[in-house]
Structure formats: structure tokens, C-alpha cells
Amino acid sequence: MISTNDFRPGVHIQLEGELYTVVEAQHVKLGRGSAYVRAKIRNMRTGAIVERKFNAGERVPQAFLETKEMQYLYSDGEQYHFMDTATYEQVALPASVVGESRRFLKEGTTVEVVFHEGAPLEVELPNSVELEVVDTPPGVRGDTATGGSKPATLETGAVVQVPLFVERGDRIRVDTRTGQYLERVR
């Protein structure tokens, strides 16, 4: 059990038979009434975010998740195949479990796969990945007074906004949490 006063982003809880992760928590104390915790929680199975109020100090069951380091091997269209780096066991995960992570998933990438009671829940990518630009329009100097950006298609198929100096064939680092360009890699 965990107190609602200990809610922080990333804490996993169980409510009404469903598994949730805390996205945001705010402790609220009004003048007269009792204190409460306003929390945004995300359902781990559906991905839906719900805002809910808890009494301050209320205790809820905490969920314990297991993470395994796995290497992405390949995709056959509907299933994404991963190998456990410790046991070399291969696991096929459906696209619904991989989710938006597939935008930056490249063969050979090491990821964390989150399991709850033996069932895979989600795939967590590293905070940034290096990918090659396979297509981008040429950047024309003088188009803008401030920096400027243009779309670039990466080797995984993801499209991100990059500065005008990035060209086809360049390797760039992308933040997997936000999908933003970080830097060009030499």
C-alpha cells in the first residue's frame, strides 16, 4: 500500500482491478475543507489519462512492475520481435504494446520492456536515439531571419523537424520522449 501523499510521476498503482501510472500529482489544501491530492493517472492497458481526487493520506495498492532489458530484432508487420539480453529468449509483442515507440525503433536497439504479472505492458526506449536522415528537402539560406526548420524523414519512417543545415545522409540524435531534433552526430 502507498499513501496518496507519496504520489510522484512514474509511481504505479492499482485501482478497481486496473493498473495505472501517476502522470502528475498535486497536493491541494483549501481554507476550510480537508486536504486532497489531485492526480492525473494513465491506464497502462488502454493509455487513457484520467484526473482523479484522492483524500490526503488515503492508501491505495501499489503495483510492482518488472523491467527486462531486451534488444529489438525485427517486425513482421503485426508483431515486433525482441530478445531478452540475459537469457536470449525471444518474445513477440503486438503493435498495441509497442505503441508510439515504434516511430524510433531501429533493429538492434536495446530497450526496456515493462512486465506486470508476466504480461508485457509497454516498451520504453532510451531517452535519445541516433538515426539517419533518408529524405529531406534542400535548405535554402536566407529563407528566414531566425533559424528555421524543415521536415526530415528518418530511417525508421518517423518525420521530425530539423534545422535547415541538415541534409540527406546525416545522422541526427532525436529525443524519443518528445520527438524533437537534438543535434547532428558526426
Q: Three-class SS string for 11-62?
A: CEEEECCEEEEEEEEEEECCCCCCCEEEEEEEECCCCCEEEEEEECCCEECE
Residue 129's pLDDT band (cuts 50, 70, 90): very high
Predicted structure pTM score = 0.72
pLDDT at position 77, please?
81
And the C-alpha cell for 24? 502528475
Answer yes or no: is pLDDT of 144 > 60.
no
- Tell me the sheet residues that pair with 115: 66, 120
Q: How far apart (Å, rounded) are the C-alpha atoms in residues 72 and 112?
A: 10
Average pLDDT over residues 159-167: 90
Residue 90's pLDDT band (cuts 50, 70, 90): very high
Average pLDDT over residues 138-154: 75
* Domains of the chain, earliest start first: 2-60 (2.30.30.30), 66-124 (2.40.50.140), 129-185 (2.40.50.140)
Identify whether the C-beta of residue 154 lies closer than 8 Å to the C-beta of residue 171. no
